[in-house]
Copies of this chain bind each other. A is one copy, B any other.
Amino acid sequence: MEHQRPKIVDVARLAGVSTATVSRVLSNPQVVSAETRRLVEEAIRQTGYRLNLAARNLRHRRTGGVVALVPNLSNPFFSQILAGIASVLAPAGYNLLVADTRAEGGESLLAYAEPSRADGLIVLDGSLPAEGLSRRVPVVLACEWIPGLAAPRVKIDNRQGAVMAVEHLIELGHTRIAHVAGPPGNVLSEARLAGTEQALAAHGLPAPRVFPGDFTLESGRRAGAEWLAVPRAERPTAVFLASDAMACGFIGEVQHHGITVPRDVSVMGFDDIELVAHMTPPLSTIRQPREAIGRHAAQRLLDRIAGDDRADDTVLPVELVRRGSTGIVAETPV
């Protein structure tokens, strides 16, 4: 008879009711009498009817979905944030979709900021253009943020985290402390660098030697190579890197050249990704509450969707995690 996908009128016909009633059974069952409801449900089962979302979305002018824009899915750092987001969104009836801003062309990203595609947007990438994003769907910024954009931000105190990291090194007796920065222009890079400088200055120590980096493993490795190239007597005895991934690259490189951590150099990371607890030595780092960041971001977005237009910031606490990669400064320089 009908090879096509059944529509709501097919169900209605079979159940002997109008399409309106079928629709009510679907989205507002309690207004339909028990008997009619049973009839309709049976008809739905028999026809194998499935709702067409495009049609519902068109009528409702909403999509029931939220899109998260992530700079780089390969960074395990983001996945736990996404889990936190999903844990809040799912009970609220929204589903989460993730798009990688690196993988997709820059232009096409704005396509996600359409009310006809998503009801809201959680942006985890600070390098997106502000102008395209405003005036479209509700947006919340998490972790990174976009300077020009008035939207709620959920973040950590990056500067304070850096201060804690550097003070930990200072407590261990280090005075020549280097920093490996994140990508230039990135808001996180800048805050962490500023915190580093602030902590050193507060303790009367000279400004740090800064090696360039971009948060990636490979850039950490290069920083390691640069550190090795510094004459031994001048080498920083401690290095604070702006991401755990870079710290991994750094440690791998210097260990490969016979350096022992933390005897020859103490290393601090930032993020506390799962892996670094299992390295040899385990990495000392600054823990970000990733799950909580995700949960708060999702909650703020739900608020915004519900009409709350405040654009205030949520700042979550970080935590110093002392592990084996940092130690007291060597008594006798070899």
Residues of the B chain whose Cβ atoms lie less than 8 Å from the Cβ of A54:
54, 57-58, 61, 63, 116
Binary B-proximity of A53-94 (CB < 8 A = 1, otherwise 0): 111011001010001000011111011101100110010000
Residues of the B chain whose Cβ atoms lie less than 8 Å from the Cβ of A98:
73, 97-100
Closest chain B CB from A111 CB (angstroms):
7
* CB atoms of A72 and B79 under 8 A apart: yes
| Contact segment of A27-35, A36-44, A175-183, A250-258 | A250-258
Q: How many copies does the complex hold?
A: 2
Decide yes or no whether A169 CB sits under 8 A from chain B.
no
Residues of the B chain whose Cβ atoms lie less than 8 Å from the Cβ of A103:
82-83, 86-87, 90, 96
Decide yes or no whether A332 CB sits under 8 A from chain B.
no
| Contact segment of A228-236, A272-280, A308-316 | A272-280
Closest chain B CB from A51 CB (angstroms):
8
Closest chain B CB from A119 CB (angstroms):
12
Inter-chain CA distance A275–B143, complex, in Å, is 23
Binary B-proximity of A97-119 (CB < 8 A = 1, otherwise 0): 11110111100100110111100
* CB atoms of B76 and A74 under 8 A apart: yes
Inter-chain CA distance A217–B273, complex, in Å, is 12
Decide yes or no whether A249 CB sits under 8 A from chain B.
yes
Decide yes or no whether A221 CB sits under 8 A from chain B.
yes
Residues of the B chain whose Cβ atoms lie less than 8 Å from the Cβ of A252:
277-280, 282
Partner of A90, one of B105, B115, B217: B105
Decide yes or no whether A302 CB sits under 8 A from chain B.
no
Residues of the B chain whose Cβ atoms lie less than 8 Å from the Cβ of A105:
90
Instruction: Name the CB-closest residue of B to A279.
Output: B252
Residues of the B chain whose Cβ atoms lie less than 8 Å from the Cβ of A248:
275, 278-279
Residues of the B chain whose Cβ atoms lie less than 8 Å from the Cβ of A63:
54
* CB atoms of B97 and A99 under 8 A apart: yes
What are 20 contact pairs spanning A and B, CB under 8 A?
A51-B116, A54-B58, A54-B61, A54-B63, A73-B73, A79-B100, A82-B103, A87-B103, A95-B99, A95-B104, A97-B99, A98-B99, A98-B100, A217-B275, A248-B279, A251-B280, A252-B277, A252-B280, A253-B278, A255-B280
For the complex of A and B, 7 pairs with smallest distance between CB atoms: A252-B278, A74-B79, A97-B97, A86-B103, A73-B79, A53-B116, A255-B280
